[in-house]
Amino acid sequence: MAKLSEYSAKRRFEATPEPVPAEPTHLGGPLLFVVQQHAATRLHYDFRIECDGVLFSWAVPKGPSPNPADKRMAVFVENHPYDYASFEGVIPPKQYGAGEVIVWDCGVYSPDEDSSGEDATWFHDRAEAERRVREGLAAGKLSLQLRGEKLKGSYALVRTREAKSWLLIKHKDRFAGTDDITAQDRSVLSGLRVKDLKFLPAPPRVPASQLVPAGEPDAMPAKLAPMLADVGDAPFTRDGWLWEPKLDGYRVLAFIDGDQVQLKSRRGLELAPTFPRLAAELRQQAGGGRMLLDGEIVSFDPQGKPSFNALQNRFQLKSAVDIAAADRNVPTVFFAFDLLHFAGIDLRQRPYRDRRRYLAQCLLPSPLVQLVHAAADGEAMHEAALASGFEGVIGKRADSRYEAGKRTSAWLKVKPTHSAEFVIGGYTRGKGSRGALGALLVGYWDGKALRFASGVGSGFDERVLKHVLARLQPLHSETNPFSETPEVNGPVTWVRPDLVAEVNFQEWTNDAHLRAPIFVRLRDDIDPSTVHRTETTRSGSPSPRQRAGAATTARATKASKAKATPSTEITAILDQLEAKKNNLELSVGAHHIRLSNLDRVYWPADEELQQPALTKRDLLRYLAQVSPLMLPHLADRPLTMIRMPDGITGQRFFQKHWEQARPDFVESVTVFSGSKDEEHEYLLCNNLPTLLWLAQSGTLEFHVWHSRAKVAADTKSKSTDYASSLESLEASVLNYPDYVVFDIDPYIYSGKEAKGAEPELNTIAFEKGKEIAFALRGLLQGMKLEPIVKTSGKTGLHVFVPIKRTIDFDAARHVSELVSRHLMRLHPKDITMEWSVTKRSGKIFMDHNMNVRGKTLNVAYSPRGVAGAPVSMPLTWEELASAHPLDFRLTDVIKRLSRTGDRWSDALTRKQDLAQALKPKKSGKA
């Protein structure tokens, strides 16, 4: 491309990560601007604007300023390719522009003066905007309206006498100020600072076409129903979720079309005449084009707290005089939280993370129109929202599309108490001072049937009773609108189901009624026909204050059984991993995992073992392929991870508890710790996305408990309360193991170990371990017990006796000790149970203490973080006879996976009755 010839001439693309020249792939929409902070020889800012398929660029040494008094030098430099707009990373030493680069700000822009000097913008007319940009640049003066996250309002680029010397000057408007805007030093894409890139890897590249609204122009819908949230049980902090305060107001869609503004409520009512100042303010947002905002109208009381009552009183006003007075006296704000359409681009199918960025860019905040704050910390947001007088919080999945008119668990609303809307179908007569209204009879639509939910008699004062009764009297009916006749005390007045009440309650009872309902208010903004039963969605991780007792029980019992992964899904994963990219976003069914450093070596090449270097990418390939066999052994078991983010030669750490953010597909269980007298959260690896996400996090080894957080037919305990106390944990199903473990650990040295080190893998030790394993099998078979075996992945072997979950860990440990001691008496020269390492040397150590609640072993098919990349491999006893541990490595296990894994898994599910096997024998032996 001729326009980029200077750019190409200055760069060696085999040495720099900067984008190569290419035609832009986006299809249309507003023009893009970007400001990149660049720590080259000196820190400076690169101001770039899109025009004719490239980025015209200026180097601004001091950066943009919102102060009209500052005339910032801007040196015109070579054009850059459009894809450069999203570049963040490090330009290597000795390359042109060497240094760190972040996207300091980005957004859309438009020329904002017509030929007469009047204000006008062309966000909606790309061709006209580009024509005016060309004219302005040729004339040496270009006035621009910027809509970025940091830079907003009108700026001028003015050429000086020097051809490449320009000035960047802020015009006087409501966005002008004296603040040092460059103090905001983080990237609007990754959140990194330029200095962070000296130590951290470059973030995954966002396609430049996704930075701003772009695509084929499309008509803005004439009407739309808003997307609705499910009810969540608690806020949480997790990768892939953002949280907003739940505003106590009227949900409104703002349709802005040139000078026309419509404010549509949830039930389709037109509110613009009721809120004329808001309508006038919103009219300025689209710049003469089209814009569709989703948000909430909120009124405030004299103390500055949100007041739904003030809003409802305002809504009842009809006369222009009263409305004008209310506009002056009752502060009312439109809070925008979603952008659905802008400048001809329909954004509803874009993920929420992108729509949120576009909204932050395109919205022009004012005292009456504000951007809702969003943050990743759900618990902190919840506390702040309640402290500010809001109802709670709304959590939104970052990858969620806008599903108009649907209630979905991709959005969750969390409030201190459960609340929902219900249709009023009648009311009972009151007693004493209550007069004509005793309790409302409320319900919800189930298809064409109105189901009765509850009588609601609490939450009324004298004023509210009078108001509600006045609204009900015109609706009197002779017909019961419910599908059944509610059981109530006293006479009933039926009404047409035209009014909606918001009700707080503790929970739904087993017979589908409300427990402890309390009337909150009438909801005129909600269409009665849209009222259906809402369930609490427990996809969140409870806060520390909410984890004990029943809340934890409900959280744990939600843990689902690992499902078989479709082969087509695994194939799709392997295809994606074939991409020659070091960073990518992996799609796993409906979920997405951001992968980084895929070419990082986890197991270095080993010439002696004839093993090539194995990378994170190789680990992910292996886990995807082995997942149908591995996941059933991980399911519902508290997980301990051995993480080696830099590979087996780097730092490694043992992690039981996960306190960082995590994706919504990762399940967990909270368990009481008797040693620390506190509760801890463990991850559960119940699905393929979790398995791959853990690998991305540097988990090379997967160690699990011998018990499951899952009640089934074979469990003596039916309790899932693991967190309330030590007593509750001991009485729960987690205290009843699935098998008795025999850990065969050879302490027979190769002679190459460092002083004090554990024995290295060696053939002599493994063969002696096999000998003891077969002897153990014979002893157990004599007790009518059939064991199964797997390699540890190192020198040892793990022998399991699958059992019905009728004995606790103390009993399982006792059994393991009895059998091991008897075996030791039979083989005293080969077996030891001594804890002293020096007394173990040269023998097989039988560790019966592995049968303790909370102890873990590496799960079947787990890799090991040692040379050779061995795997803990399930075997038949016939296969064990000729096996060597290095037969089972990451590079060749997949080739060996025929029916062995299935047979081993089947054997593990054949539970044996240990109580029967342990009945005293006449011989008196164990």
Packed helices 763-782 and 809-826: angle between N→C axes, nearest 10 degrees:
110
Question: Cα separation of 122 and 119, whole Å?
Answer: 11
Verify whether residue 318 is a known catalytic residue.
no
Q: Which two tokens stand for residue 654?
A: 């043992």
The residue written with tokens 């007593």 in the block is 727
Q: Which residues contact 12 (CB under 8 A, 6 or more apart)?
A: 95
Contact (CB, 8 A) for 21 and 4:
yes
Contact (CB, 8 A) for 133 and 31:
yes
Contact (CB, 8 A) for 343 and 147:
no
Question: Cα separation of 747 and 7, whole Å?
Answer: 64
Q: Which residues contact 434 (CB under 8 A, 6 or more apart)?
A: 465
719-739 burial by CB neighbour count: b if 16+ within 10 A, else e? bbbbbbbeebbbbbbbbbbbb
The residue written with tokens 């015009």 in the block is 171
| Three-state DSSP class for residue 35 | strand
Give me the catalytic one of 170, 246, 770, 843. Answer: 246
| Three-state DSSP class for residue 82 | helix
Q: By CB neighbour count within 10 A (0-12 exposed, 13-18 middle, 19+ buried), where does 579 fall?
A: exposed
Contact (CB, 8 A) for 797 and 770:
yes
Local structure of residue 237 (DSSP, 8 states): B
Q: By CB neighbour count within 10 A (0-12 exposed, 13-18 middle, 19+ buried), where does 580 fall?
A: exposed
Q: Which residues contact 733 (CB under 8 A, 6 or more apart)?
A: 707, 708, 709, 710, 711, 715, 717, 718, 719, 720, 805
316: left (phi over 0), alpha (psi -120 to 50) or beta: alpha
Paired strand residues for 887: none
Closest CA to 30 of 106, 134, 116: 106
Catalogue the active-site residues.
246
